A and B are shown apart, each in its own frame.
Chain A
Amino acid sequence: MKALIVEDNSDQAQFIYQSFQAEGHQADIAEDGKEGLLCALQTSYDLIITDRMMPRMDGLQFIKALRASGNQTPVMIVSALDSVDERVKGLRSGGDDYLIKPFAFSELLARAEILCRRQPDSGPDEEPVLQLADLRLELLTRRALRDEQVIQLNNREFQILEYFLQNPGRVITRTMLLERVWNHHFDPQTNVIDVHISRLRKKIDLPGYTPLLHTVRGAGYMLEQRP
């Protein structure tokens, strides 16, 4: 993954940059919206991470200018502004995701990877059947099967599993699940999501089968077939 970091605070920029490097990704840093725009138009990136408030050209202006130039690179806004309407403003100006500072790098990374994946063809996940190992989800009939055994899932559990199966091997955080499945955007700071995951896990990772739904410590969950 190659990311552009548009951030005027050098500590913050370095943190993201080094963390990306440590994960084996590439990153460039631009110090404000104007410089970011130049970089984004010259080089092709998989993802742009931009601060919200910056001198010269702020994050929202930057995104608007970027989109106006026809560039459709996914943009994640990273901001200290945690009011509910700031998020709406950010997404309305063309941002794809909004992350509130301070954030865990694992959260940023998980979101970044999902955003990048969305990019090619940006086609919706309309495959009628999602499958991982012997776990299968039939979207049309809304059936879940493990080893051809039907699993009874309620509506939310089905949505959660669908999200995991669309992103196998990727970390999905608690706030991402709350956003995707319940369409609410905040960090509940409680175990409310974990309860749902453990219920789902009990249903799909039946005794005697290889566990597929794993907990990623300090980050979230991952659906993956591990040897």
Chain B
Amino acid sequence: MSWIRDPFRSTLIIYSTLVVVAISMLLLTRETLNIWYLEETALPLVEEEAATLEEIWQDEGLPEVRRWIKDNENDVFQYQLQPVSDPLLIKALDAEFTTDTQSIELIPESDEALLDDETHLDDETNVFTVELYLPDLKTERWYFLAVTLNSDVFAGPLRLFNLLLLAIALVLLAGLLLSYLMLRKVRRHLNDINHTAQTISKHRDLSARIQQGNLSGPLADTLAQINDMIAELEQSVLKSRQQADNIAHDLRTPLTNVQQKLQQLDLEQPELCEIEQQLSRLLHTFNLLLRINRLETNGENPPLEAVNLNELLADIEDLYLPVFEDQDKHLMVLPLLAEDATGDQPYRVSANRDLLFQVLCNLMDNASKYNPPGATITVTLSSSGANTELIISDESGGVPPELLDNLCDRFFRADNSRQAAGNGLGLSFVKAAMQQMNGSLTLSNQTTPNGVVTGLKVNLLFTSDQSSYK
């Protein structure tokens, strides 16, 4: 029943159901409607004709009726006049007859089958017949008079009536088709909005715009407003990037000059070396901050290529294993074997080799910094469908759950004492770099089955979107 939450599908489904019900009702009740139509139009005519003849019968008698019938025999009415010869019927009619009776039209309840004199409709020919039993007072005989409306007369109007029913059905169907086309058009524009939004969020390409075509009205206004909003965002992003560049240029240059002067003085006064190194670290922090900014605002847009994660992890293991061993910690890197996963070479992801290596080095530095001696740091790869996941889990004891979300904030450190070396930018950099490579970073606590937090779990998710290779 998920379709009910989709206004497009639910409107169409409900509307088409209603149309189908309406049309089948029209088809099913067509016969009844036809009869109703004939009753409303043909019946009064026959009855009036019968009444006229009855009047002539009373006023002027049988010969005049015969003459009238002869004169009026035409395409519209057919007449039948004959004496009643059935003795049973005569007896029944006589019983009904009183001086006031001018004609017998009603059926005696006692003898329904016999005295079938009423207005009735022949189902097959759609013909109305009025049947009357009239007493001829002169000869004292009963006469049977039937007035029938020629079926052909109403064939035309009836066809017209059926045509009207058909027209209603067609209008309903046309309405359904029209609303389907309209919804499809609106939907196409919505899809275009979605597509543009995806382009923007995926490639952070704010130059993308929604196609407006020659649309007008509220939908066009909406599209125009969204486009304006994107344009404004683009402007402000460009502006902030410009500002970041300006800050970089304005502050970096004098700081660099001071650092260079200090380097020259170092040669004569080695005690300045410490200050020079501190300044270098400050400059490094400063550069890293600017770099994160650039990665986030698409200012640094390294080309993506197919990177073999197994090879890259082998490099990382090779580089960091001695670091962990020296600290009495264990590093376990488990490569992804092709037979353990679906797809051709699932360990190949779309990324930038250099940038990804820096990401992994940052995570390894963190692991070596925050894990106690004896801890095991495990790096695993897993793949499902188009996604490949690199998981680094450690035994650092994790972080308080409420702080997990803050870990990627610039300069945030889970240890308030800020004892450990570092600048608090590592995870911000990792996150920005992963996003730039169309991947993502997720941090969670590693827990035992009974809920004890043992360490931090870093998930790097890569989506192998071949089309994003640049």
Interface check B406, CB cutoff 8 A: no
Q: Contact partner of B273 among A15, A83, A217, CB < 8 A?
A: A217
Contacts of B340-384 to chain A: CB distance below 8 A: 352, 354-355, 357-358, 361, 365
A101 with B256: CB separation less than 8 A: yes
A15-B260, A80-B252 known; A104+B361 contact, CB < 8 A: no
A84 in the interface (beta carbon within 8 A): yes
| CB-CB nearest in chain B for A191 | B323
Cβ contacts under 8 Å, B263 to chain A? 15, 19, 104-106
Contact of B256 with A84 in the complex, beta carbons under 8 Å: no
8 new A-B contacts, CB < 8 A, other than A87-B354, A199-B322, are A80-B248, A83-B291, A84-B302, A84-B358, A101-B256, A186-B357, A188-B365, A196-B319
Compute how far the CA of A187 lies from the CA of B283 in the bound complex, rounded to whole angstroms: 13
Q: Are B323 and A15 in contact (CB under 8 A)?
A: no
Alpha-carbon distance A22/B261, docked complex (angstroms): 13
Number of B residues whose C-beta is below 8 Å from A?
A: 41
* Residues of A close to B253: CB separation below 8 A: 9, 11
Does B180 reach chain A (CB closer than 8 Å)?
no
Considering only residues 176-227 of chain A, those with a C-beta below 8 Å from chain B are 182, 184-192, 195-196, 199, 217-218
Residues of B within 8 A of A185 (CB): 354
B355 touches A84 (CB 8 A): yes
- Docked CA distance A191–B318 (Å): 15
B315 partner residues in chain A, CB cutoff 8 A? 182, 184
Residues in B with CB closer than 8 Å to A12 are 256-257, 260
The yes or no answer to B303 lying at the interface (CB within 8 A) is yes
Interface string of A40-84 (1 = CB under 8 A from B): 000000000000000000000000000000000000000010111
Please tell me if the beta carbons of A84 and B354 are within 8 angstroms of each other in the complex: yes
Q: Measured between C-beta atoms, what is the minimum distance from B386 to chain A in Å?
A: 24
Q: Choose from B260, B301, B326 the contact partner of A195 (Cβ within 8 Å).
A: B326
Q: Please indicate the chain A residues that have their CB under 8 angstroms from the CB of B322 in the complex.
A: 195-196, 199
Question: Which residue in B260, B273, B319, B355 is a CB contact (below 8 Å) of A102?
Answer: B260
Known: A19-B263, A84-B302. A218 touches B283 (CB 8 A): no
Cα distance, A82 to B289, chains bound together (Å):
12
Smallest distance from the beta carbon of A76 to chain B beta carbons, Å?
Answer: 17
Tell me which residues across on chain B come within 8 A of A189, comparing CB atoms. 281, 284
Set of chain B residues within 8 Å of A152, measured between Cβ atoms: none
- A15, A22, A195 interface centre (most CB from chain B within 10 Å): A195
| Chain A residue at smallest Cβ distance from B254 | A11
- Which of these, A87, A102, A192, contacts B255 with CB under 8 Å? A102
Q: How many of chain A's residues have a CB under 8 angstroms from any CB in B?
A: 34
Quick one: which of A144-192 are within 8 Å of B by CB?
Answer: 156, 182, 184-192
4 interchain residue pairs of minimum CB distance:
A84-B354, A102-B256, A15-B260, A83-B300
Given contacts A84-B354, A196-B322, contact A102 B266 (CB under 8 A): no
Cβ of A85 < 8 Å from any Cβ of B? yes
A102 and B302 contacting across the interface, CB-CB below 8 Å: no
CA distance A190 to B294 in the complex (A): 23
Specify which of A85, A104, A192, A199 is in contact with B280 (CB 8 Å cutoff): A104
Q: How far is the CB of B63 from chain A (nearest CB, A)?
A: 118
Name the distance in Å between B420's Cβ and chain A's nearest Cβ.
Answer: 12
User: Which chain A positions have C-beta within 8 A of B260?
Assistant: 11-12, 15, 102, 105
**Which residue from B259, B320, B358 sits with its C-beta under 8 Å from A192?**
B320
Whether A192 touches B267, Cβ cut-off 8 Å, given contacts A102-B252, A102-B256, A102-B260, is: no
Q: Is B466 an interface residue (CB 8 A)?
A: no
* In the bound complex, CA of A183 to CA of B293 (Å): 26
- CA–CA, A192 and B260, complex, Å: 26
B277, CB-defined interface residue at 8 Å? yes
A82 and B259 contacting across the interface, CB-CB below 8 Å: no
Whole-angstrom CA separation of A102 from B326 in the bound complex: 31
A133 to chain B, nearest CB (A): 26
A119 interfacial contact with B, CB 8 Å: no
Smallest CB–CB gap between B22 and chain A, Å? 64
Name the interface residues of B176-217: CB closer than 8 Å to any CB of A: none
Does B80 touch A at the CB level, under 8 Å? no
Of A87, A102, A182, A218, the contact of B277 (CB 8 Å cutoff): A218
**Chain B hits for A82, CB < 8 A:** 287, 291
Q: Are A85 and B320 in contact (CB under 8 A)?
A: no
Contact B352 A102 (CB under 8 A): no
**How close is B249's CB to chain A, nearest CB, in angstroms?**
8
Q: Is B236 interfacial (CB 8 A cutoff)? A: no
Question: Residues of B contacting A87 with CB < 8 Å?
Answer: 354
Is B264's CB within 8 Å of the partner chain A?
yes
- How far is it, in angstroms, between the C-alpha of A40 and the C-alpha of B137 when the chains are bound? 145
Contacts of A190 in B (CB 8 A): 361, 365
Chain B residues with CB under 8 Å of A84's CB are: 300, 302, 352, 354-355, 358
A89 CB, min distance to chain B CBs, angstroms: 10
A109 to B326, CA, bound (A): 31
In the complex, what distance in Å separates the CA atom of A187 from the CA atom of B165?
83
Evaluate whether A186 and B323 lie within 8 angstroms (CB atoms) in the complex, with A15-B264, A102-B255 already known.
no
Q: Which residues of B contact A195 (CB under 8 A)?
A: 322-323, 326
User: Can you spell out 21 A-B residue pairs with CB atoms less than 8 angstroms apart?
Assistant: A11-B253, A12-B260, A19-B263, A22-B264, A80-B248, A84-B300, A85-B300, A85-B352, A101-B256, A102-B259, A102-B260, A104-B280, A105-B263, A156-B318, A182-B315, A184-B358, A189-B281, A189-B284, A192-B320, A192-B323, A195-B323
